[in-house]
Amino acid sequence: MKRLEGKICLITGAGQGIGEATALKFAREGAVVIACDLKQEQVEAVAQACRAGGAQAEGHVMDVTNRAQIDAVVAQVIAAHGRIDVLCNNAGINRRGDLLSLSEEDWRLSFAVNLDSMFHLCRAALPGMIAAGGGAIVNTASQWGLHPAPGHIAYNVTKAAVASFTQNLARDYAQQKVRVNAVCPGEIHTPMLEAGVKRSGRTIADLDRLVPFGRIGRPDEVAALVAFLASDEAAFMCGSLVEITGAQAVA
């Protein structure tokens, strides 16, 4: 039996990076994958890749800053499948800057994407999970939410809030057997990281040298942790913030 056999799993930010790797991992574990992202072509490509491996998968366009779109997609999934067993709140952005250099627009957008989206998605999905007798929510926080890096105040603060949100939700709904946990990645080789490296003038090799393990992480390694937390193998994990960093301290 695959660990997520027949589970209805909704993943945001599934068009690339950790979200894409999570969708593909869930597909291999037997899940029904609901891939959500901003761009139609990306979610369709990911859904097709999942189907190519024999899984049932579908792609949905979702702007996570738009509550109406969130509610519509969740309602559509529940109407088609009857429930959502696993919710992976993975969509996120990283806007650089300290307090005096960051724009107010980037501050507000960071909260809208990184935190408010989780609030609205969980409010939409939780009642069905409770009615079904339980479920799993896995949020993507960050090592920087626990140990802030300089020059990224909006990202650090929103990811710290994701960590707190995760633990609060876990405490409130553990009795209803809804398990809520978060992964806290360090440097992971994603398109978001590549964009940041390009802006900074550093290279991936420069980042590799900062990691005691000898290299930065891969999206599929984070996806493996997400799949574990979503599965019954992690049945007693609730309210956990799991770092995956290769022993790297914040640079």
| List 144, 155, 165, 228, catalytic entry | 155
Tokens 């809208």 sit on residue: 112
155 is catalytic: yes
User: Could you write out the three-class secondary structure of the chain?
Assistant: CCCCCCCEEEEECCCCHHHHHHHHHHHHCCCEEEEEECCHHHHHHHHHHHHHCCCCEEEEECCCCCHHHHHHHHHHHHHHHCCCCEEEECCCCCCCECCCCCCHHHHHHHHHHHHHHHHHHHHHHHHHHHHHCCEEEEEECCHHHHCCCCCEHHHHHHHHHHHHHHHHHHHHHHHHCEEEEEEEECCECCHHHHHHHHHHCCCHHHHHCCCCCCCCECHHHHHHHHHHHHCHHHCCCCCCEEEECCCCCCC
Q: 212 CB contacts (<8 Å, ≥6 apart)?
A: 246, 247, 248
Active site residues: 155
